[in-house]
Amino acid sequence: MEYQETKYWVSTHETIPAQTKKILNEYLLSLKLANKAESTISRYRTFLERFFVEYEVELDTLTSKEVLEWVNNYSEGKKESTVIIALSILTSFFNFCLAEDYLDKMVMKKRWGPKAPQPLPKFLTEQEYASVKMAAELLPLRDRAIVLFLFSSGCRRSEVAQLLIEDVDLKRRTAVVQGKGKKFRKVHFSEECALIINEYLEARSADGKEPLFMTKYGLPLQQSGIYKITTKLGRLAGLKQTLHPHCCRHTFATNMLARGAELEFIADEMGHTNLNTTRVYARIPTEDIMLAYQNIMG
């Protein structure tokens, strides 16, 4: 989803003290220059605006006691994961202030935050994947091509939505996608996927500058459209849970691990800059990995 706001990295909140708002905008600009996602910067801005509106004090007068008091009030009735994100945003901002000499000492304490266990990725079981594959054969060519691409490339839906025809090499079964931080990488996809994409493109105009996946009105298919395709497919397949595009990504990673792929290779394919992000798949029980292998390879 694209934001309509032109300067999402600028706070214009009138209640925030002028000097504090100046520092806040410097911080938000630093996030933009670091190629943080627009949605991330907007979320950080909104949260920090709330913090400074509810705590109407100058930044350089804040104390650890006051920040903790606000965090405790904010945390009431909220999930542990929400509190962790809040603490992370505050820590990031105050670290910036410390580095830029806007603060003399750090006002956040590591002991404040709960450490949430990293959840295991949700991927399809053997029976679920078989049901999804059967149901996918009933989809229109475009939708089937998208589903096969998600399952065999491990791409995010945002990456799929941005693809142009010229980004895809059907002969080599590779595509160049733009991931987080506007970084480009090459991904691979299955032969079946290549055949369906080719058939789909033969049924429409195929100018290289056009989006790979389009709506029936000739417009680029958005992320929300991809989400609707997978969720509809999940219902057709009779899944108990919603089939999110990210579940396709997790199923891809699990399949690669089951086939003996190195974590470094999986990380490169999925666009993980931190290998620890990929290591979560190694925590999946061995019997589940074997089911995933049988699921894909037979």
What SS3 state is found at 186?
strand
Q: What whole-number distance in Å separates Cα of residue 176 and Cα of residue 167?
A: 5
Reported as a single tens digit per residue, the pLDDT across 76-118 is 888 887 888 888 899 999 899 888 888 888 877 776 655 555 5
Sequence-separated (6 or more) residues with CB below 8 Å from residue 21? 11, 13, 52
Mean pLDDT of the chain: 85
User: What domains sit in the chain, N to C, each tagged with a CATH number?
Assistant: 18-112 (1.10.150.130), 126-297 (1.10.443.10)
What local confidence, expressed as pLDDT, does residue 283 receive? 56
Confidence of residue 280 (pLDDT cuts 50, 70, 90): low
Average the pLDDT over 130-139 and give the result: 94
Q: HSE of 146 in the Cβ direction (CA atoms, 13 Å)?
A: 34
Beta strand 184-188 with 174-178: parallel, antiparallel or unpaired? antiparallel
Sequence-separated (6 or more) residues with CB below 8 Å from residue 218? none
Percent of the chain past pLDDT 70, that is, above it, reads: 86
284 has a pLDDT exceeding 70: no
Q: Is 182 exposed, middle or buried (0-12, 13-18, 19+ CB in 10 A)?
A: exposed
Sequence-separated (6 or more) residues with CB below 8 Å from residue 257? 263, 266, 281, 282, 284, 289, 292
Q: What whole-number distance in Å separates Cα of residue 287 and Cα of residue 292?
A: 9
Reported as a single tens digit per residue, the pLDDT across 179-229 is 888 889 999 999 999 999 999 999 987 788 999 999 989 899 999 999 999
Percent of the chain past pLDDT 90, that is, above it, reads: 44
Confidence of residue 233 (pLDDT cuts 50, 70, 90): very high
